[in-house]
Each structure stands twice: as structure tokens, then as C-alpha cells.
Homo-oligomer: A and B are copies of this chain.
């Protein structure tokens, strides 16, 4: 069984590109020609929404799969269309994997142990289908929230170990109000540093040949000073770094998330890549090429760091 951490670090190294593209398909920003096709076929229905999302994502994936190691579909933008949306999510996961990409499901799931087990099996492992262990959503990794402590995480690490999958635990999120809980002082350190210590422990049994653990951490590019501290607390964690681009973080802000040799982090951009055609003032028919150009520009931007 190859550790997820090794698959990811290998793919990053092969492509020379420590980035992940967030697939957050807001219907309003999907090009009109895709929307029109979907409505022509299915009417103004949830099926049409799902169809448009899949077509849009396939275009993005086709355009970037040879230069970007992974995609990160944000499940909220699928789930909001109910089961039709979740079907689009599943098809996106499958299509990206067929094209050789790793898929990090951004779901921020969390619950008590017996329930976390259902999430872990459904998103990453095998579910018991009338006695037959069967893959369901089958992403390569999943983001999870640490608020419930070890027994909400253990079912995920078990599945990671059995199936070569990974998790990224929220440690320091990129949003403005993350300090309300994550920066609260516990004696001489902050809550997110305490959580980082837990994450480091949860990941110890899942360290691959790369030296990295399949239990990674989400650390926002918007708090570079804090990232520096967290990098020390979690030497073996791969940092999944949101906040670059649309959320205001620049390449320099992501630097503390990496080790000095330029490994150990993967930087996400969502809107800045998939809807690049809008910002570039290009026709919507060129959305996939615009995404490829933006992905190349991001790779170039980050390559200057090391």
C-alpha cells in the first residue's frame, strides 16, 4: 500500500508544481455556452445544474491534468444542489482520477467516532453494501475538522492506513475570524498550536518514505507568522494552504508553510484558476485555456520561492 503522502509528494515532484486547483463550480460563473447546453437538455432543473458542473469541471481537468498534481472539489458547491449535485461531485472525483490527478475532497467533515466511521468509509474507503465492501465516493483525501478530538479522527486514520488515503485536519483557517477560536491563548501557546500538536500525534503512524504523513494540516496563507510556528510543531505534515489568490495571500505568504527545501506544502487556488477567463477579460469559450494559463502562472509564481 503506497501512502497517500508519498503519492502526493511524488506527483508534486514529478510536475515540479506544489499546487492544487479548487473546483468550486459556482453556477453563476460557469460559461453561458455550458449553461445553455444543460438547460436545453434538462430544463432549468437540478439535473441541469449537475450536468453543467460536470461539463465545466471536465474542461478544467482536461486543461490542467498534465501540469497540476491534484484538484480539490469543495463539496458545498455540489451538495447545495442535493443528490444531483452529489452525483456531479462523484463524477468529478472519478474523472479527475482517470486523468491521473489526486483528489482532495474539501468537506471539513467531523463527528463522534461511530459517525466519523461512516464519513471515512463513504468518502475514502469502502462501505458495507449488504455484506460486500464497496467503494462509494472514493476520493484520495478529505479535509476534516478537529473540534471533537481524537475519537472523531481515529476512524479516518484507520481508513487512510488501510486504503492509502489521506486527511488534512483544519489547524489554522484562512478566514478573517479564525482567530476567535484558533488564536485563543492556552498559557504560552495558542489553540491552533495545541491542535497542531494533536495532528502531529495523529499522523505518526502514517509516515511514508517521503518522510511526510498522510495526516496533513490545513494552514492558511493569510497568517504567515503563525504558519512559521505551526511548521515547527508539525514537521512531518503536508500543509494544504488555502488563501492564495482570491483570498489575498501572495506567494511570499505561503513560504513559511514549506520546509526550506521547498517541500511539505501544497497551495490551493480555486476562483483564481477556474474563473480566470473573467479576470482576463477572455471569452467564456476560452475558460479552460485561461485556467491552464492561470495554473501555469501560479506554478511560475511559486517557483520563485525556492
| A residues lining the B interface (CB < 8 Å) | 24, 27-28, 35, 39, 44-46, 48-49, 74, 76-77, 79-87, 89-90, 108-113, 115-116, 118-119, 121-123, 127-130, 132, 136-137, 145-152, 170, 173-182, 184-187, 191, 194-195, 198, 242
Among all A-B residue pairs, the 8 with the closest Cβ atoms: A80-B122, A149-B177, A149-B180, A83-B87, A76-B118, A83-B86, A112-B175, A150-B177
Q: How far is the CB of A243 from the nearest CB of chain B, in Å?
A: 9
- Taking A46-B129, A83-B83, A110-B108 as contacts, is the C-beta distance between A115 and B77 under 8 angstroms? yes
CB distance from A107 to the nearest CB of B (A): 9
Complex Cα gap A122–B115 (Å): 22
Complex copy number for this chain: 2
Q: Which of B39, B79, B191 contacts A122 (CB 8 A)?
A: B79
| Contact in complex: B76, A136 (CB < 8 Å) | no
A186: B residues at CB distance < 8 A: 184-186
Q: Report 25 cross-chain contacts, Cβ distance below 8 Å, ordered by A residue.
A: A24-B115, A44-B129, A46-B136, A48-B130, A49-B129, A76-B109, A77-B115, A79-B86, A80-B122, A80-B136, A81-B122, A81-B127, A81-B129, A83-B83, A86-B86, A145-B145, A146-B147, A146-B181, A147-B173, A147-B181, A148-B181, A149-B180, A149-B181, A151-B177, A184-B194
The distance in angstroms between the C-alpha atoms of A63 and B152, with both chains bound, is 32
**Shortest beta-carbon distance from A141 to chain B in Å:** 17
Q: Which residue of chain B lies nearest to A138 when distances are taken between CB atoms in the complex? A: B82
Inside 8 A of A130's CB, which chain B residues have their CB? Answer: 27, 35, 39, 44, 48-49
B110 touching A145, Cβ below 8 Å = yes
Judge whether B149 and A115 touch: CB under 8 Å: no
Cα–Cα distance between A112 and B128 once the two chains are bound (Å): 33
Residue of B nearest to A48 (CB): B130
How near does chain B come to A172, taking the closest CB pair, in angstroms? 10
Assess the A180–B150 pair: CB atoms within 8 A: yes
Q: Is A175 a contact of B151 with CB atoms below 8 Å? A: yes
The residue in chain B whose Cβ has the minimal distance to the Cβ of A136 is: B82
Residue of B nearest to A148 (CB): B173
A220: nearest residue on chain B (CB-CB)?
B112
